[in-house]
Structure 1
Amino acid sequence: MVISSTNPHNKEIAIRRRIASIFNKREDDFPSLREYNDYLEEVEDMTFNLIEGVDVAAIEAKIAKYQEENSEQIMVNRARKAEELAAALAASKGQAAQTANDVGASQDFGAVPQGQYAPTFAGQPRPTGMAPQPLPLGGSDMPGYAGDDDETMRLRAERGARAGGWSLEISRKRALEEAFGSMWVC
């Protein structure tokens, strides 16, 4: 796979995402911490060499071989990650997280509840249903709209500044300190 991009940062991000999706073992997949660290070091060496363009053909062959030999474990780890993300999302929304057994027991094969992931053959999780769209805040009350007068805009600016920790007293104190700090006494 050749990744061409004018921005080297985007190239690195794309390579790291690709490698992370293939080499997705975790510490609990290894009998010892040493073996896990060796695995991480090997993955990072391959990633670095791909980013720098060092021996790309040999690394791509190694990746293809690993992917072929470990395709089942790669899929299992991707599914596990998707389930953990779904559980974290449910927990952040204050809902009880459903396990895969709960989902399978409560629905038919083709039916997946809103917000859950439907299985795909490519191995990538796919969100189902329509995600709720964020609503704009304020509408016509937003600064800069025709309904705002000067007093309203000034109050909004003051409140925003105070919310950010700014105050007139701090500005005055800093100006005085800078002025007196730059004076030389002879």
Structure 2
Amino acid sequence: MVVASGTNAFAKEMAIRKRIASIYNKREEDFPSLREYNDYLEEVEDMIVNLVDGIDVPAIEARIAEYQRENADQIMNAQARKAEEYAAALAASKGQLAQTGVDLSSSSEAGTSAVAQGAYAPAIAGAGIAQPRPMGIPVPLGSGPDMLGFEYEDEETMKLRAEKAAKAGGWSVEISKKRALEEAFASIWI
């Protein structure tokens, strides 16, 4: 039981960290000095520890809600920037940057140095035209590949894929039945 409670505590802490990191998502370059950035990180870590330990939770939740209201634009911009970086890293890992003709050596930020600061620039901008940052809540585009490129599958497709994988590995239902019968009858003579 100790392991289960430790696992639950770990899962709780990871969920809290993920939630707080999505809200308090400033970076070092967002601060005028390293000292102010470190103070910000320390404040965020103190809130996480107190939430995990259950210390003064209502006051901390109120601070989080107030911060979200006051910094909604900054939070959304940081999330968009993170998504752009993720898309660029994913494209780079697939070799798509080479196919699009983007020259990474000519700019310091993967082709976005020509775009005005604060303007929305997709990770792979062919024309280099600055666009306004999207506002509002992102809406899923429907079915299709997720962020990692995997297709969403229904239960039947997943079952079929599992059966094909098992057969490719040399497993079959007949062999399993035969082995189960042999083991059952072998145990009778003992």
Q: Give TM class, smaller chain.
A: 0.5 to 0.7
| Structure 1, unpaired ranges of 5+ | 1-5, 107-118, 149-186
Tell me, yes or no, if structure 1 residue 130 matches structure 2 residue 144. Answer: yes
Tell me, yes or no, if structure 1 residue 144 matches structure 2 residue 171. Answer: yes
Specify the alignment match of 1:21 in structure 2. Answer: 22
Q: How many percent of aligned residue pairs carry the same amino acid?
A: 53
Letter in 1 for 2:144: M
Cα deviation, residue 13, structure 1: 1.3
In structure 2, how many angstroms separate the alpha carbons of the residues matched to 1:89 and 1:105? 20
What SS is found at the alignment partner of 1:88? helix
Flag the structure with larger Rg.
1
Q: Residue 102 of structure 1 is aligned with which of 106, 110, 125? A: 125
Query: Which runs of at least 4 in structure 1 moved beyond 2 Å after TM superposition?
Result: 101-106, 119-122, 124-129, 132-141, 143-148
Cα deviation, residue 145, structure 1: 3.8
TM-score, normalised with respect to structure 2: 0.57
Cα deviation, residue 77, structure 1: 0.2
Q: Residue 121 of structure 1 is aligned with which of 136, 158, 170? A: 136
TM-score, normalised with respect to structure 1: 0.58
In structure 1, how many angstroms separate the alpha carbons of the residues matched to 2:127 and 2:61? 37
Letter in 2 for 1:8: A
- Conserved 8 A contact 1:140-1:147: no
Query: Given the superposition, is the C-alpha separation of residues 14 and 138 from structure 1 closer, same or farther in structure 2, using an over 3 Å criterion?
Result: closer
Letter in 2 for 1:140: K
What SS is found at the alignment partner of 2:96? coil
In structure 1, how many angstroms separate the alpha carbons of the residues matched to 2:93 and 2:125? 19
Letter in 2 for 1:71: A
Cα deviation, residue 125, structure 1: 7.5
In structure 2, how many angstroms separate the alpha carbons of the residues matched to 1:64 and 1:73? 14
- Measured against aligned partners, the alpha-carbon deviations of 1:126-171 in whole angstroms (never above 9, x if no partner) come to 57662244977866331334799xxxxxxxxxxxxxxxxxxxxxxx
In structure 2, how many angstroms separate the alpha carbons of the residues matched to 1:103 and 1:127? 22
| Equivalent residue runs for 1:1-186 within 5 Å | 7-96=8-97, 99-100=121-122, 102=125, 121-122=136-137, 126=140, 130-131=144-145, 132-133=150-151, 140-145=167-172
Letter in 2 for 1:142: G
RMSD of aligned Cα (Å)? 3.4
Cα deviation, residue 82, structure 1: 0.3
In structure 1, how many angstroms separate the alpha carbons of the residues matched to 2:44 and 2:18? 12
In structure 2, how many angstroms separate the alpha carbons of the residues matched to 1:128 and 1:93? 23
In structure 2, how many angstroms separate the alpha carbons of the residues matched to 1:79 and 1:125? 13
In structure 1, how many angstroms separate the alpha carbons of the residues matched to 2:142 and 2:87? 12
What SS is found at the alignment partner of 1:74? helix
